[in-house]
Amino acid sequence: MLYEFKGHRPVVDPSAFIHPQAAVTGNVSIGKNVYIGPGAAIRGDWGRIVIEDGCNVQESCTIHMFPGVTVWLKEGAHIGHGAIVHGAIIGRNCLIGMNSVIMDNVEIGDECIVGALSFIKAGEKIPRRSVVAGNPAKMLKEVSDEMLRWKTEGTALYQALPGEMRGSWQKTEPLSPLDGRIQQGAKPKIEDYRSWKETPHSSDEGSDQVQEPAAAYGKREFTIDDYLLMEETATQKHEYYQGEIFAMAGAKADHNIITSNMMMFLAHKLWGSSCPVFTSDQRVHVEANTLFTYPDLTIVCGKPVYYQDDEMNLINPVVIIEVLSPSTKNYDRGDKFKLYKGLTTLQEYLIVDSQSVLLEHFYNDAKGDWILQKYEQLTDEVTIIKAGVSLSLADIYKNTRFPKLTH
């Protein structure tokens, strides 16, 4: 909604899109191809707000000031969900991360990146092409060309969004479940929702629901430092391999149940031992081939060792467990296993199917050869050799929704 205040009316270019649940008040100027998301509050009541061409102010952002101040978002500024900009100047082609707070009289130079949840205190001057993060925020490094390209491509999606919204967005009534199933009968085109062409996704054959993305590495070039910095402020997990960063999506219920079952039983059986088990929040780094990833479960026997002693990136797991999803099973069995073999400490690799009763246990024998043993019955029991514990498949698959397990 647009509101006049003390004779000041917002000036809005016709190519911009302002969501009707946003509130734009008073002395506000909005340029071409600007996107203003629902819940945004842009209050030009005590001063002036200038939002130049190609900016986006995402959902639940607040832009305001003390009396007599002008807030200025220069061309291509990208204000992430929930951020607050109070009396500041945001430079051209900057990224302000989600839920960040930019205080009064802050001047952020062109092409800067501010990490999510950062707090920039009043009066700070941030030089051009700086990476800033933390509370209070600190300048960490210079924005690389690849980081800037990544940011610019993301902003381009929002610059195209106003035209798309004007062309196809409208109020509607919900479909009934039956109508929804009929409408969704055709397999969705996942590519319509890609952020970048280099980020491929796949869906389960014959299914109309998106699965975890199959891992495929594109042509982007990020350094390890770039990745680690971005992962500090990211709101979802990403893998890294030879200069490529890509998102890891969530999993279906059975995948999560199997992972939880195994974690619970392993944690209980390994309690007090020298072999702790880690959840999927533990990132693993394979120094031999640069892979950073998040296995579903990881076991270390002895003292954990971390990349550059950062206590974040484990480099000495002896056992890795992956629970398969339909779109990742080939990757987990093939290329990812090859990458994991770059870990000199790795002795066992377990992959557990989430659609049928099947556990594949690879272990390294005395000759250094990888031996495979399969388990396909609920009465089977697998022994994790290095940890000295056994798990029954009945326990692993307990409470899953497979038809054969519900009778």
Are residues 127 and 270 both part of a single domain? no
Length of the chain: 407
Are residues 138 and 261 both part of a single domain? no
Is residue 286 assigned to a domain? yes
pTM (2 d.p.): 0.51
Are residues 270 and 386 both part of a single domain? yes
Q: Identify the residue whose tokens are 């800033």.
A: 132
User: What's the pLDDT at 403?
Assistant: 53
The CATH code of the domain that includes 294 is 3.90.1570.10
Is residue 184 assigned to a domain? no
- Among the candidates 111, 146, 181, a domain finishes at 146
Is residue 351 assigned to a domain? yes
**pLDDT tens per residue across all 407 residues of the chain:** 999 999 999 999 999 999 999 999 999 999 999 999 999 999 999 999 999 999 999 999 999 999 999 999 999 999 999 999 999 999 999 999 999 999 999 999 999 999 999 999 999 999 999 999 999 999 999 999 888 888 988 899 999 999 889 888 888 888 766 555 545 544 434 333 333 333 333 333 333 333 333 344 344 578 898 889 888 877 778 999 988 887 776 788 999 999 999 999 999 999 989 999 999 999 999 999 999 999 999 999 999 999 999 889 999 999 999 998 876 677 777 789 999 999 999 999 999 999 899 999 999 998 889 999 999 999 999 999 999 999 999 999 999 987 554 43
Structure tokens at 389: 């514990």
Strands of the sheet with 35-36, listed across from one edge: 17-18, 35-36, 56-57, 78-79, 95-96, 113-114, 130-134, 137-142
Between CA 307 and CA 317 the distance in angstroms is: 12
- Among the candidates 99, 123, 146, a domain finishes at 146
Angle between helix 145-168 and helix 224-233 axes, rounded to 10 deg: 50
Between CA 84 and CA 263 the distance in angstroms is: 40
Is residue 116 assigned to a domain? yes
Question: Does residue 339 contact residue 289 with C-beta atoms inside 8 Å?
Answer: yes
Is residue 117 assigned to a domain? yes
- Among the candidates 100, 127, 146, a domain finishes at 146
User: CB count, 10 Å around CB of 73?
Assistant: 29
Domain assignment of residue 294, given as a range: 253-405
Structure tokens at 42: 């842009």
Is residue 159 assigned to a domain? no
User: What's the pLDDT at 176?
Assistant: 67
Is residue 214 assigned to a domain? no
User: What's the pLDDT at 186?
Assistant: 42
The CATH code of the domain that includes 23 is 2.160.10.10
Are residues 263 and 395 both part of a single domain? yes
Is residue 337 assigned to a domain? yes
Q: How many independent structural domains does the chain possess?
A: 2
If DSSP codes are grouped into helix, strand and coil, which group holds residue 30? strand
User: What's the pLDDT at 226?
Assistant: 86
